A and B are shown apart, each in its own frame.
Chain A
């Protein structure tokens, strides 16, 4: 759509600007303030320069948390994206069953994060949980509270349970926007199932898939509540992801300076990825409009 140039439109945007500035810029400035200062309480601050940043960049604790976080996000994406596409391809296209699948699949998305954690905490317990009990009865020694591998497996399966539907729903919407004529043309050309997927469905899903990948990347990169409820970051530090470590540092130990410096770097990473996402997406939009 061709838009007209009109700077008065700023008046329409003003309320959003004020509100988001209040809830985003002000807190962010507080964080910046902490990051560059040291305090001994009483609201008296001393300039600390880049000290906290140096401390954080070189701290092995942060490297470990970052490493775990990247590994986690990578595993999550590697499982959820292909699985989501696969599920979307198998969903019924219309009728009662399509609605039914949509509703059931959306259900996990609407459960409060800590309840998701609680569900899996109960589900995986060795004494009262279906999963833990059945696995142990099958002779697999499974206990997510003291075995790091089991803890990781539980957190990952939980995230797959929680969020694969999102990827599937997005792909489903993309698939439904493909006109039937494309499939008919493919049938005339005797295209194989794989060719249909590779040359018709995948290109048409590109836009939504991009959104899905980035939403999943962002949300898994800042995951906090679910693993916190299930494992509390343990056993040891094996499931302490970035956000968990950050909250531990800021609120648990009240190390405001390092925590703030950490927050800022965390935020910059997110900002960078958002920017790449935004650029690619606006380019896609422009291509479509041509």
Chain B
């Protein structure tokens, strides 16, 4: 008889606990509204894809996804572009005020978005950026840039300094060395930093909702508004929820071995 290890039981229970609410959401998204409200069923008896069809054919719904994807990608690009040279500076040099600067960056990761919501709204309104994708992308830089700097610095530390010196002796200029030699060396680090920027920009709602009204409204905010306006269309709500999980679930597979290192800000 096969012996089952207690650790396997613990893990199975924990994974079931994690999956159960998600399963319930998927389950609801495949039911009709009558089945949701009138019958209590553990799986959809009357399987329907209507809820998904509503979302994928109505611009006011699917544009939410497009908007989210646009500002998230902008944010990832901006964050990485500015964070790469900065992380290199922190990992290689001592300079005046470096420790204080690093600490100041950390405090921004820890700043409660609620504190910033209203000032952001006024700041971006006054420069005419309200309800644009770039406004949300810039606002999310508040916590993503510090995070990217931290993660990249952690990975860059692992690259021996001799590589830099050899490249200079071989006559590489700094930009060429950085792009041709250094960046490929820390490619996993860049991937992980990109993943984390993607993730935190994707899950954030308070700032993105405050800074947008129509043109750049993220899907997460679309969900809250439509639900309160049209009564309770549980099926569509559940389907929209499922669709917000999908992108995360897709990218997670590629970084599975580095997730923990990223969360530890590169310090494992």
In the complex, are the beta carbons of B220 and A110 less than 8 A apart? no
Q: Mark A1-29, 1 if CB is under 8 A from B, else 0.
A: 10111111110110111011011101110
Q: A114-B224, A243-B112 given as contacts; is B267 within 8 A of A208 (CB)?
A: yes
In the complex, are the beta carbons of A270 and B96 less than 8 A apart? no
Q: Is A247 an interface residue (CB 8 A)?
A: yes
From 154 to 174 in chain B, residues with beta carbon under 8 angstroms from any chain A beta carbon are 157, 161
Q: Is A36 an interface residue (CB 8 A)?
A: no
From 81 to 96 in chain B, residues with beta carbon under 8 angstroms from any chain A beta carbon are 81-83, 85-86, 88-96
Report the Cα distance A5→B95, complex, angstroms.
6
Q: Which residue of B lies closest to A32 (CB)?
A: B119
Q: Is A234 an interface residue (CB 8 A)?
A: no
Q: Mark B1-23, 1 if CB is under 8 A from A, else 0.
A: 00000111011001101111110
In the complex, are the beta carbons of A16 and B83 less than 8 A apart? yes
In the complex, are the beta carbons of A122 and B123 less than 8 A apart? no
Q: Is B263 an interface residue (CB 8 A)?
A: yes
A100 → chain B closest CB, angstroms: 9
From 260 to 290 in chain A, residues with beta carbon under 8 angstroms from any chain B beta carbon are 263, 266-267, 270-271, 273-275, 277-278, 281-282, 285
Q: Is A102 an interface residue (CB 8 A)?
A: yes
B186 → chain A closest CB, angstroms: 14
In the complex, are the beta carbons of B95 and A7 less than 8 A apart? yes
Give the A-B contact count at a CB cut-off of 8 A.
279
Q: Which residue of A lies closest to B219 (CB)?
A: A112
> How many residues on B have C-beta within 8 angstroms of the other chain's C-beta atoms?
97
B68 → chain A closest CB, angstroms: 9
Q: Is A146 an interface residue (CB 8 A)?
A: no
In the complex, are the beta carbons of A4 and B93 less than 8 A apart? yes
Q: A111-B244, A173-B268 given as contacts; is B89 within 8 A of A12 (CB)?
A: yes
Residues of B within 8 A of A225 (CB): 205-206
**Residue of B107, B119, B161, B219 with most partner-chain A CB within 10 A:** B119
Report the Cα distance A266→B111, complex, angstroms.
9
From 172 to 221 in chain B, residues with beta carbon under 8 angstroms from any chain A beta carbon are 199, 202-206, 210, 219-220
Report the Cα distance A9→B93, complex, angstroms.
7
Report the Cα distance A114→B220, complex, angstroms.
7
From 127 to 147 in chain A, residues with beta carbon under 8 angstroms from any chain B beta carbon are 127-131, 133
Residues of B within 8 A of A246 (CB): 112, 114-115
B79 → chain A closest CB, angstroms: 9
Q: Is A251 an interface residue (CB 8 A)?
A: yes
In the complex, are the beta carbons of A31 and B122 less than 8 A apart? no
Q: Mark B233-268, 1 if CB is under 8 A from A, else 0.
A: 010011001001100110111001101110111011
Q: Is A161 an interface residue (CB 8 A)?
A: yes
Q: Is A91 an interface residue (CB 8 A)?
A: yes
Residues of B within 8 A of A10 (CB): 89, 95-96
Q: Which residue of A lies closest to B28 (CB)?
A: A122
In the complex, are the beta carbons of B245 and A115 less than 8 A apart? yes
Q: Mark A90-109, 1 if CB is under 8 A from B, else 0.
A: 11100000010111111111
Q: Mark B70-86, 1 if CB is under 8 A from A, else 0.
A: 00000000100111011
In the complex, are the beta carbons of B107 and A270 less than 8 A apart? yes
Q: Is B63 an interface residue (CB 8 A)?
A: no
Residues of B within 8 A of A60 (CB): none
Which one of A51-59, A71-79, A163-171, A184-192 is at the interface? Answer: A163-171
Report the Cα distance A161→B8, complex, angstroms.
19
From 32 to 48 in chain B, residues with beta carbon under 8 angstroms from any chain A beta carbon are 36-37, 40, 42
Report the Cα distance A9→B14, complex, angstroms.
47
Kindly list 9 other residue pairs between chains A and B, CB separation below 8 angstroms, not including A30-B122, A110-B245, A112-B205. Answer: A19-B78, A87-B10, A90-B6, A104-B19, A112-B203, A113-B204, A115-B220, A118-B223, A246-B114
Residues on A facing B (Cβ under 8 Å): 1, 3-10, 12-13, 15-17, 19-20, 22-24, 26-28, 30-31, 86-87, 89-92, 99, 101-115, 118-120, 122-123, 127-131, 133, 161, 165-166, 169-170, 172-174, 177, 207-208, 211, 215, 218, 221-222, 224-225, 229, 242-243, 246-247, 250-251, 256, 259, 263, 266-267, 270-271, 273-275, 277-278, 281-282, 285
30 sampled A-B residue pairs with Cβ under 8 A: A1-B91, A3-B92, A3-B94, A6-B93, A9-B95, A12-B86, A19-B138, A28-B116, A30-B122, A101-B11, A102-B256, A104-B15, A106-B252, A107-B18, A110-B252, A114-B205, A115-B220, A115-B223, A123-B21, A170-B263, A224-B114, A242-B112, A243-B113, A246-B114, A251-B210, A256-B118, A259-B118, A267-B112, A274-B110, A278-B106
